[in-house]
């Protein structure tokens, strides 16, 4: 171990810089943390001047290097006055290391094999940012006892999850939809077979708990870590689950609720009312309903990250529509020339992606001029759509050929086809840190996990 420490010191002196990582390292984590300027979700546990945020990363047992950039290397960005960074519950950077005049910190830390937790506590005025980069020199991978694990961590550029790394069985399940908790610790899956929501804990690769409902569930979403909203399409209801005790309350008279989408900061949940030509807004503070009339049966729904627009498509119409949230006016956005299924929007709001099962394509719609690019090569019967938090990639499940395609948003081309995902991949979701993709396998009664 002493020899490895000496080699690591050499890397620190000659191999690293304050501007990035080299080919001699594995990039384990690269993320920006910001002291929110608005009311945060529960993965950001806030007091008046502080805020805690959580991330996850994989590694090989041994040492790693944490680099912290105050101001996140962004011109004009506000710095934080203090930060506490912990890995696997152990503080590695604290207030004594940090103040508003500190620009950059680098430290050697211990990490473990497989999943590691990262917790960042920021103290500053709202808007303060830091960037955290965690790298692991390949020397540790070469010396690791688990050579296969080391090779997996250090293979490629770890730009995006690109292989099936596990599966979680749900026996006799009729799985419909899924949502990942804001901290990435749980995946909530609706099961219409026994009127339940299965709570999967990825860290143990199994179902942690089962929440009983009174009606067959369909769509699911999480405005924050405290509540889960579930649609019951054929019972005209939406259930609200309190995650603290799994108590369930019911919102009645939500006609034919189908898909659900959350507005920024979880203040509203938008619901497509599939057979009555309406979209409903649920105010999460009191669960009151506000209807928006539309001219077609809505299906899938997505909210722009800035909250100004809601995008809706229909199983019976080839047009994608946009709702302006300031006055709830509805206008056609563009016809993609075919009926479509799922919909997603990039974090910057620049593009909306819709899956087109009947002609085996995905449409990338530019929200600034409402033009569409047709993307081919996404497999047979493309169904589910999930955009990564970075906005660089879109994952598309292909229901008929058990594949997931990865679209690179910079040029809207398919750069990877992930084979043998499972029988009938349908609903799909990405973890908040972008490290994992979860896919419902409709006919295989399981959730597949895609990772690095």
User: Which residue, 99, 127, 154, sits at the end of a domain?
Assistant: 154
- Same domain for 143 and 233, yes or no, is no
- Same domain for 133 and 181, yes or no, is no
> Which of 39-43, 127-131, 311-315, 446-450 has the weakest average pLDDT?
39-43
- Same domain for 275 and 141, yes or no, is no
- Same domain for 135 and 273, yes or no, is no
pLDDT of residue 86: 94
Q: How far apart are CA 379 and CA 357, in angstroms?
A: 9
How big is the chain, counted in residues? 452
Question: Can you give the CATH number for the domain in which 388 is found?
Answer: 2.130.10.10
Mean pLDDT over residues 336-360, rounded?
92
Instruction: Check pLDDT > 80 for residue 443.
Output: yes
pLDDT tens for 6-29 read 333 333 323 333 334 333 567 788
Q: How far apart are CA 355 and CA 245, in angstroms?
A: 37
pLDDT tens for 219-272 read 999 998 899 999 999 999 999 999 999 999 999 999 999 999 999 889 999 999
pLDDT of residue 36: 65
* Token pair listed for 57: 């990363």
- Same domain for 290 and 436, yes or no, is yes
Mean pLDDT over residues 67-80, rounded?
87
The number of angstroms, rounded, from the C-alpha of 415 to the middle of its chain's C-alpha atoms is 20
How does DSSP classify residue 138?
H
User: Which residue, 154, 175, 209, sits at the end of a domain?
Assistant: 154
Higher pLDDT, 2 or 239: 239
- Same domain for 289 and 429, yes or no, is yes
Mean pLDDT over residues 122-144, rounded?
72
- Whether pTM > 0.75 for this model: the answer is no
- Same domain for 62 and 98, yes or no, is yes
- Same domain for 351 and 443, yes or no, is yes
* Token pair listed for 426: 């349908």
Mean pLDDT over residues 282-308, rounded?
94
Instruction: Check pLDDT > 70 for residue 60.
Output: yes
- Same domain for 409 and 342, yes or no, is yes
Question: Can you give the CATH number for the domain in which 40 is found?
Answer: 2.60.120.380
Instruction: Check pLDDT > 60 for residue 373.
Output: yes
Instruction: Check pLDDT > 70 for residue 150.
Output: no
What is the span of the domain harbouring residue 324?
A: 163-451
- Same domain for 233 and 371, yes or no, is yes
Q: Please count the structural domains in the chain.
A: 2
pLDDT tens for 405-440 read 999 999 999 999 999 999 999 999 999 888 899 999
- Same domain for 375 and 258, yes or no, is yes
Q: Decide: 248 and 230 in contact? Cβ < 8 Å.
A: no
Q: How far apart are CA 347 and CA 393, in angstroms?
A: 11
């Amino acid at each position: 171990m002493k020899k490895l420490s000496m080699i690591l010191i050499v890397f620190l002196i000659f191999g690293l810089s304050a501007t990035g990582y080299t080919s001699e390292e594995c990039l384990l984590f690269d993320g920006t943390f910001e002291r929110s300027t608005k009311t945060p979700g529960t993965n950001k546990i806030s007091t008046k001047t502080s805020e805690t945020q959580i991330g996850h990363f994989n590694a090989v047992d041994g040492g790693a290097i944490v680099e912290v950039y105050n101001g996140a290397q962004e011109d004009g960005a506000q710095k934080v006055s203090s930060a506490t960074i912990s890995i696997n519950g152990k503080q590695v950077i604290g207030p004594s290391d940090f103040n508003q005049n500190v620009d950059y910190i680098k430290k050697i830390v211990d990490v473990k094999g497989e999943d590691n937790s990262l917790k960042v506590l920021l103290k500053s005025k709202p808007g303060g940012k830091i960037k955290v980069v965690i790298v692991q020199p390949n020397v540790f991978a070469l010396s690791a006892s688990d050579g296969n694990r080391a090779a997996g961590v250090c293979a490629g550029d770890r730009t995006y999850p690109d292989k099936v790394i596990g599966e979680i069985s749900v026996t006799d399940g009729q799985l419909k939809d899924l949502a990942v908790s804001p901290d990435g610790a749980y995946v909530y899956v609706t099961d219409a077979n026994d009127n339940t929501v299965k709570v999967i804990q990825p860290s143990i690769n199994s179902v942690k708990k089962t929440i009983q409902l009174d009606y067959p569930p369909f769509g699911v979403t999480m405005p924050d870590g405290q509540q889960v909203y579930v649609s019951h399409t054929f019972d005209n209801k939406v259930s609200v689950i309190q995650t603290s005790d799994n108590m369930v309350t019911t919102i009645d008279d939500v006609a034919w609720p189908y898909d659900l989408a959350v507005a920024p900061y979880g203040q509203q949940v938008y619901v497509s009312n599939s057979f009555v030509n309406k979209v409903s807004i649920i105010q999460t503070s009191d669960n009151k309903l506000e209807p928006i009339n539309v001219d077609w049966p809505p299906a899938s729904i997505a909210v722009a990250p800035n909250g100004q627009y809601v995008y809706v498509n229909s199983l019976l119409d080839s047009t994608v529509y946009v709702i302006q949230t300031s006055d709830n006016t509805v206008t056609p956005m563009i016809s993609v020339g075919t009926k479509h299924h799922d919909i997603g929007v990039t974090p910057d709001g620049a593009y909306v992606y819709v899956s087109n099962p009947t002609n085996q394509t995905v449409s990338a719609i530019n929200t600034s001029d409402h033009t569409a690019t047709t993307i081919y090569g996404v497999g047979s019967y493309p169904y589910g759509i999930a955009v990564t938090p970075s906005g660089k990639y879109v994952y598309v499940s292909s229901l008929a050929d058990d594949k997931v395609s990865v679209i690179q948003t910079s040029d809207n081309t398919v750069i990877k086809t992930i084979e043998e995902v499972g029988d009938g991949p349908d609903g799909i979701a990405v973890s908040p840190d972008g490290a994992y993709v979860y896919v419902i396998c409709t006919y295989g009664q399981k959730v597949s996990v895609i990772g690095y």
